[in-house]
Amino acid sequence: MHSRHLGLSLLAIALCAPSAASADGSFLQRFDGSWSGTGTVQRDVDSAPRRVSCEVAGSRPSPNQVSITGQCRAAIIFTRRIGADIRYDPASGRFSGSYTGSTKGAAKVSGEQQGDALVLTITYPVPAYGDRAATMVIRNAGNGQFSMVVTDKVDGSDKQTSNISFSAG
């Protein structure tokens, strides 16, 4: 009788646990290679977002890690280095690392995979738009394109502070 309850308990745990398909380090392979993109970025001092063009490269220092580095340019007004170094922890099923691109400095990121997206909480080293937190969603369906959207609270409302779409090449 005891082993039957143990078996049912293990089955219940297995059914409730996230599947390997829902959180997987192989998802990071989708970011390998060279990428170019366009989109918008909101700077603290600007009233409207600026159009940007970006070039980045993704590499895999280890099977459970991706490093994306490059830069974005808004006409001749500014150039900014951007990047993300993200690691997958198979034990927890979570992703964490750092994000570079804000005028506030390198930020910490952590979160999880939800379908074809990484949903990450950004923690800036100093306040941006009144606090230190924002949300980044990096979506990649594996079709040679990905997008990176940062949403922050601005004047009490959620606002996209960056939205960039990339294509392989």
- Give tens-digit pLDDT for 61-92: 999 999 999 999 998 778 889 999 999 999 99
Q: Which CATH architecture has domain 21-168?
A: Beta Barrel (2.40)
- Residues of the chain with pLDDT > 90, as a percent, come to 62
Model pLDDT for residues 134-157, shown as the tens digit of each residue: 999 999 999 999 999 999 988 888
Q: Which two tokens stand for residue 42?
A: 């909101």
Residue 26: Cβ-neighbour burial (10 angstroms; 0-12, 13-18, 19+): exposed
What's the pLDDT at 128? 82
Residue 3: Cβ-neighbour burial (10 angstroms; 0-12, 13-18, 19+): exposed
What's the pLDDT at 7? 33
Average pLDDT over residues 94-116: 93
Residues whose CB falls within 8 Å of the CB of residue 24, separated by 6 or more in sequence, listed in order: 88, 113
Which is higher by pLDDT, 155 or 13? Answer: 155
Task: Report domain extents, the chain.
Answer: 21-168
Which is higher by pLDDT, 18 or 158? Answer: 158
Mean pLDDT (the chain) is 84
What's the pLDDT at 23? 56
Instruction: Answer whether residue 113 shows pLDDT above 90.
Output: yes
Q: Specify whether the backbone of 81 is left (phi greater than 0), alpha (psi in -120 to 50) or beta.
A: beta
What's the pLDDT at 51? 93
Average pLDDT over residues 100-118: 92
Find the range with the poorest average confidence among 51-55, 104-108, 114-118: 104-108
Model pLDDT for residues 14-63, shown as the tens digit of each residue: 333 333 334 567 899 999 999 999 999 887 656 788 899 999 999 999 99
